[in-house]
Amino acid sequence: MADCFSEENFMSVKTPSLFGGAMIIAGTVIGAGMLANPTATSGVWFTGSLIVLLYTWFSMLSSGLMILEVNTHYPHGASFDTMVKDLLGPIWNAINGVAVAFVLYLLTYAYIFVGGDLTAKGLGGALGIKIPLTVGQLSFFLIFATCVWASARLVDRFTSILIGGMVLTFIWATGGLIAEAKLPVLFDTQAPSGTPYWIYISAALPVCLASFGFHGNVSSLLKYFKGDAPKVAKSLWAGTLIALVIYVLWQIAIQGNLPRNEFAPVIAADGQVSVLIETLSKFVQTGSMAAILSFFSYMAIATSFLGVTLGLFDYIADIFKWDDGFAGRTKTAAVTFLPPLVSCLLFPTGFVTAIGYVGLVATVWTCFLPSLLLLRSRQKFGKGKNYTVYGGAWLIYWVNLFGFLNVLAWVFNKLELVPVFKG
């Protein structure tokens, strides 16, 4: 019976597609957090946000490809626990373990809460009755957690469908806004001479970093593609590029219509979508944008939940060395899903304070650890078995510097040591 539930059998019917891998990455990256990008980058505005997004995309993609090269030296299914323990020792492994668990568990917790809230409202609206938040959370959880428990292939299929829906709703919601975007507004040409922009970069960097998080999925994809590292690399490139294009189009839609000096109400509301649309409607027709963006947000949260928990699932399996049989996957699912589910049901908004630290903690295993792992891996094994990331020592320094700048930006923001753009 166990063999019937093995990942091998789930995936033996058909070779996993590059498209499916790219969709898993794009779905993980494009979360509801993208809605915060225009607000976080309003200080540096469009040109600045474009540079920051490109810089962040390249740096995060590079660090993900570093993990991939290191991963080729280990058995399929080996994740951070195996690699860090072997290459950097138990102390670094403990630090990394805490960082990975903090970020992935907290994101899972947040997605259950937000996804459950949207589910309850959607079901309530459709049925004409009030649905309790708990029912919405359990419904959201059971549907999408079951996909991750079943197999990576089911995550691939679900994510592909949801990404298709996201693209359609995104075009529907923003197509008119992009067409209406005005170059003087987009490039802030009416601003007084000497208007400062780059002094506000510290607010943009950590948010953009959080908008390109997929690193927990690298090992999962290598396992899913049965060790075909070049195919995984192509999936990372394609998935992150899809996300980058959507982010840039979203920036154009918002910052090309809502003038920089009119952003004050949106910033005061922490980028709340309803306030953003209300402010935007003073300058351009928004129509049914609010309703459509609700659909988009739901699908974005669902795909992010699938991607984040798939990475957490395989990380847990690697720690405890549980196999892909029915019993092994069930034990892994229990450790993956029960802590955030129970926490969410008992403390439904407890993540609000802690989630502000996600960007800081994520730099440990998305920036510093990948570069250290690659350095130690090349010293021990040489280059990757069937994949070698581009660049040499300069790329290691680049990714480390990127992580360091993000930590500085986060700390300076927290301590209020940098100027804050208020519109």
Q: What is the pLDDT along the chain (423 residues), one digit of tens a residue?
A: 333 334 444 344 467 889 989 999 998 898 766 778 899 999 999 999 999 999 999 999 999 999 999 999 999 878 899 999 999 999 999 999 999 999 999 989 988 988 888 898 888 888 888 899 899 999 999 999 999 998 888 888 888 899 889 889 888 888 888 999 999 999 999 999 889 999 999 999 998 998 899 998 999 999 999 899 999 999 999 999 999 999 999 999 999 999 999 999 989 887 777 788 889 888 888 878 878 888 888 888 899 899 999 999 999 999 998 988 899 999 999 999 999 999 888 887 766 666 678 888 999 999 999 999 999 999 999 988 899 999 989 999 999 999 999 999 999 998 989 999 987
- CA 344 – CA 108 distance, rounded (Å): 9
- CA 84 – CA 70 distance, rounded (Å): 10
Contact between residue 373 and residue 65 where contact means Cβ atoms under 8 Å apart = no
- CA 319 – CA 317 distance, rounded (Å): 6
**375, burial (CB in 10 Å: exposed 0-12, middle 13-18, buried 19+):** middle
Contact between residue 2 and residue 325 where contact means Cβ atoms under 8 Å apart = yes
pLDDT computed for residue 12 by the predictor: 41
* CA distances from residue 286 to 11, 59, 351 in whole angstroms, order as listed: 44, 35, 32
Contact between residue 271 and residue 36 where contact means Cβ atoms under 8 Å apart = yes
Sign of CA dihedral 344, 322, 329, 386: positive
Q: What is the 3-state secondary structure (H, E, C) of 123-180?
A: HHHHHCCCCCHHHHHHHHHHHHHHHHHHCHHHHHHHHHHHHHHHHHHHHHHHHHHHHH
pLDDT computed for residue 2 by the predictor: 35
Domains and CATH numbers, the chain: 18-189+196-415 (1.20.1740.10)
Q: Which two tokens stand for residue 182?
A: 């005005």
Q: What are phi and psi of 119, to 5 degrees?
A: -65, -45
Contact between residue 415 and residue 82 where contact means Cβ atoms under 8 Å apart = no
Contact between residue 180 and residue 257 where contact means Cβ atoms under 8 Å apart = yes
Phi-psi region of 271 (alpha: psi -120 to 50; beta: other; left: phi over 0): left
- CA 35 – CA 157 distance, rounded (Å): 25
Contact between residue 31 and residue 247 where contact means Cβ atoms under 8 Å apart = no
pLDDT computed for residue 52 by the predictor: 97
DSSP letter assigned to residue 284: S
pLDDT computed for residue 249 by the predictor: 94
pLDDT computed for residue 410 by the predictor: 93
Q: What are phi and psi of 178, to 5 degrees?
A: -65, -40
Q: Which two tokens stand for residue 388?
A: 């070698």
